[in-house]
Amino acid sequence: MLDRFYQEVILDHYRNPRGRGHLEPPKIVQEGMNPLCGDEITLELRVRDGVIEDIAFDGHGCAISQASASMLVEAVKGKSVAEAEEFLQQVLAMFRGDVEPDESRFGELAYLAGVRFIPQRTKCATLAWHTLEEALQHTNGQTP
Ligand code: FES
């Protein structure tokens, strides 16, 4: 019953992705790829005064990768770069199995935590997050 609920949440993000599209410049653009399947994602961020004002993604991939990207948009929009960096490290630790998938901490992302026992699927779930990790390295808290 619970698993079915999780699946429905994931499919809802897949079918109705939050933040899919593009931002007007100026923006940071970062591409990422899952080397296991070749699926790609592009993240676009607008950072002003150290805050992620807006974020969007585009690309193609499986339901898990797209749902994870959609959840990422909801999770980090409005966060400071430092907060987003800290949160993404916690998310990656959750997918590694180092941190419990606490829903009060991770929200709907906790529903994706079942993939941490399946290495190929873990790559799908972390694709957007590793891409964000690279994108944040291009910020100094300011819009480029
Ligand atoms: Fe390619 Fe999941 S199968 S990202």
Task: List all residues 6 or more positions away from 118 whose beta carbon is below 8 Å from its beta carbon.
Answer: none
What's the residue count for the chain? 144
In a domain, 14, yes or no: yes
pLDDT value for 144: 46
pLDDT value for 1: 46
What CATH number does the domain containing 106 carry? 3.90.1010.10
pLDDT value for 48: 93
Buried b (16+ CB within 10 A) or exposed e, 131-142: bbbebbeebeee
Question: How far is the centre of ligand 1, averaged over its atoms, from the C-alpha of 36 (Å)?
Answer: 8
In a domain, 50, yes or no: yes
Pick from 10, 72, 115, 123 the residue to mutate for probing ligand 1's pocket: most ligand atoms within 8 Å of its CB. 123
Residues 54, 73: Cα–Cα separation, whole Å: 9
pLDDT value for 81: 97
pLDDT value for 139: 84
pLDDT value for 6: 85
Which ligand 1 atom is nearest residue 64's CA?
2
72: containing domain: 2-136
In a domain, 114, yes or no: yes
In a domain, 96, yes or no: yes
Q: Of 24, 13, 40, which is closest to residue 130 (Cα–Cα)?
A: 40
In a domain, 17, yes or no: yes
Pick from 10, 13, 31, 39 the residue to mutate for probing ligand 1's pocket: most ligand atoms within 8 Å of its CB. 39
Per-residue pLDDT of the chain (144 residues; tens, 9 = 90+): 457 788 899 999 999 999 999 999 879 999 999 999 999 999 999 999 999 999 999 999 999 999 999 999 999 999 999 999 999 999 999 999 999 999 999 999 999 998 998 989 999 999 999 999 999 998 864 444
In a domain, 141, yes or no: no
The domain total for the chain is 1
In a domain, 40, yes or no: yes
Query: Residue by residue, what is the 3-state secondary structure of 120-143?
Result: HHHHHHHHHHHHHHHHHCCCCCCC
Residue 12, H or E segment: helix 2-15
